[in-house]
A = this chain, B = another copy of it.
Amino acid sequence: MPKAIYQTIYRDLKEKIEQNEFAYQELLPPEHQLTKKYDCSRNTLRRAISCLVTDGYVQTMQGKGVRNIYRPIEQTSFTIGEIESFRESAKRNGLTPRTRVLLFVELAVSDRQASYTGFSPGTEVYYIQRLHYLDDLPLIINHNYFLKEAVPGLTKEIAENSIYDYLENTLHMTIVNSKRVMTVEKITEIDEKYLKLNVDDYNCMAVVSSQTYNSDGIMFEYTQSRHRPDYFRFYDNAVRR
């Protein structure tokens, strides 16, 4: 898949850093050495480095060099600051995912739903409620709204497996970006029931609302993810510009 040269270099360097080929705080070889090694132009190499900066893996310092500031994240994390489906996250952490579909309906977006989903009122969508388990522990309840026009042929069976797998491999849709808002909200009766939460223990939970766009610039999904608070971790790296 990584056709572009800069992406190949980016992945190679990323892997090397993850496998501790450079110590924490150590400088990477200077640009001119790496351009020789990868037999590419300076621009191309710099583009790869720039991706690593965005990931929080390295820090560039004018006149000094490129410093490795990567630290492995804890094992327990399964929700991180990238676009990744539930199954992908699970797999990456060596855990067994399971998905139960609680509700699968088709509906037209109401005025109230329009106000928080970002879809126009009347838009035809699939509305799906799903419960995600990790190693048989119910962790997340997802409320998905998929634009019917952009995601035709969605079924309950697909929803039980990976919707993203269907989108990318069957419909050949490309997911481009996702705007997310994280908040903390009171748990509802539904949360309590399905996530087996005890109000005396935790009475609120982490909620991630996201609007996702495909390569046509169309928002095809609105999702509200409600996470068990004791298992929720969200990673992020912010870069000052």
**Interface positions of A (Cβ within 8 A of B):** 7, 25, 51, 53-54, 56, 59, 61, 64, 67, 69, 71, 81-83, 118, 174-186, 202-206, 213, 215-217, 219, 227, 229-230, 232-241
Query: A215-B61, A238-B81, A239-B177 given as contacts; is B233 within 8 A of A206 (CB)?
Result: no
Tell me if B61 and A217 are in contact (CB < 8 A): yes
Partner of A51, one of B216, B217, B233, B241: B241
Tell me if B238 and A180 are in contact (CB < 8 A): yes
**Chain B residues with CB under 8 A of A240:** 82-83, 174-178
**Chain B residues with CB under 8 A of A179:** 56, 71, 235-237
Tell me if A217 and B67 are in contact (CB < 8 A): yes
Query: A83-B240, A241-B51 given as contacts; is B176 within 8 A of A205 (CB)?
Result: no
**Chain B residues with CB under 8 A of A217:** 25, 59, 61, 67, 69
Partner of A206, one of B25, B82, B184, B238: B184
Partner of A59, one of B7, B176, B238, B241: B176
Tell me if A233 and B182 are in contact (CB < 8 A): yes
Partner of A182, one of B53, B59, B234: B234
Q: Given known contacts A69-B177, A182-B206, A183-B233, what 4 new A-B pairs fall within 8 Å (CB)?
A: A56-B177, A176-B239, A184-B206, A203-B204
Minimum CB–CB distance for A168 against chain B, Å: 10
**Chain B residues with CB under 8 A of A235:** 179-182
Partner of A177, one of B59, B205, B230: B59
**Chain B residues with CB under 8 A of A233:** 181-183
Q: When chains A and B are docked, how far (Å) is the Cα of A177 from the Cα of B67? A: 13
* Top-4 shortest CB links A-B: A67-B217, A184-B229, A182-B234, A59-B217
Nearest chain B residue, comparing its CB with the CB of A82? B238
Q: When chains A and B are docked, how far (Å) is the Cα of A51 from the Cα of B53? A: 14
